[in-house]
Amino acid sequence: GQNIDQPTEMTATEGAIVQINCTYQTSGFNGLFWYQQHAGEAPTFLSYNVLDGLEEKGRFSSFLSRSKGYSYLLLKELQMKDSASYLCAVRKNTGGFKTIFGAGTRLFVKA
């Protein structure tokens, strides 16, 4: 089976740094995605990690440790527009790279 855990909600202040953690248990791990989803909108791609380590992309960075089944998304210099749900998703290497999503972390950025 598979299980993806991430905090339900987080609150942070504009200009600050926030780290959203994700732990997973799955067979056939092929990679880990982070998606951003604003309320009422479709998810949009943020990052993809397949090897251990940190991937940096502008204000957003994503980290993966396959041995620990752990990832985090780091958001720097928070802006109000970053208020959204952040979805951790695991891609499996079976069945055409099926992707399993976590429930998401709702991030509230306050002034």
> Exactly one of 14, 15, 25, 50 binds another protein (CB under 8 A); which one?
50
* Span near another protein by CB under 8 A; candidates 11-19, 21-29, 62-70, 99-107: 99-107
Among 75, 102, 107, 109, binds another protein (CB under 8 A): 102
Name the 3-class secondary structure at 23: strand
CB of 15 to another protein, least distance (A): 28
- Give the span between the Cα atoms of 41 and 92, in whole angstroms: 25
CA distances from 77 to 14, 16, 62, 109 (A): 7, 5, 15, 11
